[in-house]
Amino acid sequence: MNVLVTGGAGYIGSVLVGFLLDKGIDVTVVDNLMYGQKSLLHYFADPGLTFVRGDVRDERLMKELVPGKDFILPLAAIVGAPACDRAPGSSTSINIYSIKLIDRLRGVGQAVIFPTTNSGYGTTKGETFCTEDTELAPISLYGRNKVEAERVLLDSGNAITLRLATVFGLSPRMRLDLLVNDFTYRALKDGYLVIFEKHFKRNYLHILDAAGCFVYCIEHFDGMKDEPYNVGLNDANLSKEELALKIKEQLPGLYIHFAEVGSDPDKRNYTVSNAKINGKGFYAVHSLDEGIKQLIQGFGMIDRGDMYNC
């Protein structure tokens, strides 16, 4: 089997590539290394890995890379609302145009597994579970871009889209701008957290489960194709307050201040049902407690530096 992973040196990609290689899959990665990452170096001993430094918007390059691949996993993106707002033109061209380009270039039988985001559900009261049939109402440019790209692929067919919960955990291309990673890092390094709108909820997903879900979809593609799936931990639809208190369980000296005045620019507030993908046999199994423990240990090696997308 031959798989093309765009953005394969990114936060999820640099974990996912290892999962694919361990399955004996030949992997071609294209990435522009915009963050200067060197996250794939430990995989080059595997002859199944091919790396191409390039831009996924380069039509000539993609015409060379797309044909002949059994699966295309388009991870390349400007990820997160702040990063997209900082460079809206580039974000839209990468997050939408590159997907349309792949969709146009792929041939009959070439399958796509695309990670979108359950932030497309926008702002609800967090009192009812969002399912794949819930109306999408993204409140950010990032969310709107991902929703449009998902529509393009599902309309074309032979695709699976994964509406990933907020991912957390350690990666060779680490990110500290994801909520669990950020809260845990600040709790460990600063000893305190200031939290606005503590009741806002969202779902969470360990990076090992995110990578594992792609592999599961490859192995069960025919029974899952042409559908979107929420992917997250069933017991981790948590408010920001509940998340902070979970971190405090492992860092008892943490001081938490819940601010009554002020607001968080990220207004997402929803709970998510993962029943549909559970019905296909996939369950996220790596817990939030497990991930927080790993983050605390891993942060002994990390300074803030360039670990933020924005």
* Structural domains in the chain (count): 1
Q: Where are the alpha helices (DSSP H) in the chain?
A: 13-22, 59-65, 81-86, 88-92, 98-105, 141-156, 179-189, 207-219, 240-250, 275-279, 288-298
CA angle 188, 184, 196 (to 5 degrees): 110
281, amino acid identity: G
pLDDT digits 0-9 by tens, 239-256 = 999 999 999 999 999 999
pLDDT digits 0-9 by tens, 161-203 = 999 999 999 999 999 999 999 999 999 999 999 998 899 899 9
pTM of the model: 0.94
**Residue 215 domain-assigned (yes or no):** yes
CATH of residue 98:
3.40.50.720
CA distance to 5, 155, 211, 267, per residue, from 138 (Å): 26, 19, 24, 10
**Residue 148 domain-assigned (yes or no):** yes
In this predicted structure, what is the pLDDT of residue 120?
Answer: 84
**Residue 114 domain-assigned (yes or no):** yes
In this predicted structure, what is the pLDDT of residue 137?
Answer: 87
In this predicted structure, what is the pLDDT of residue 295?
Answer: 97
**Residue 290 domain-assigned (yes or no):** no
- 110, two tokens: 């070439």
Stretches in the chain below the pLDDT threshold 70: 124-127, 261-267, 304-310
**Residue 307 domain-assigned (yes or no):** no
242, amino acid identity: E
In this predicted structure, what is the pLDDT of residue 310?
Answer: 60
- Token look-up 């000893």 returns 191
**Percent of the chain clearing pLDDT 90 (strictly above):** 82
* Domain membership of residue 92 as a residue range: 2-165+203-235+273-285
**Residue 86 domain-assigned (yes or no):** yes
Q: At what angle do helices 288-298 and 179-189 cross, to 10 degrees?
A: 50
**Residue 153 domain-assigned (yes or no):** yes
Q: How would you class 130 by CB atoms within 10 Å of its CB: exposed for 0-12, middle for 13-18, buried for 19 or more?
A: buried
- The C-alpha atoms of residue 206 and residue 42 are separated, in whole angstroms, by 21
**Residue 227 domain-assigned (yes or no):** yes
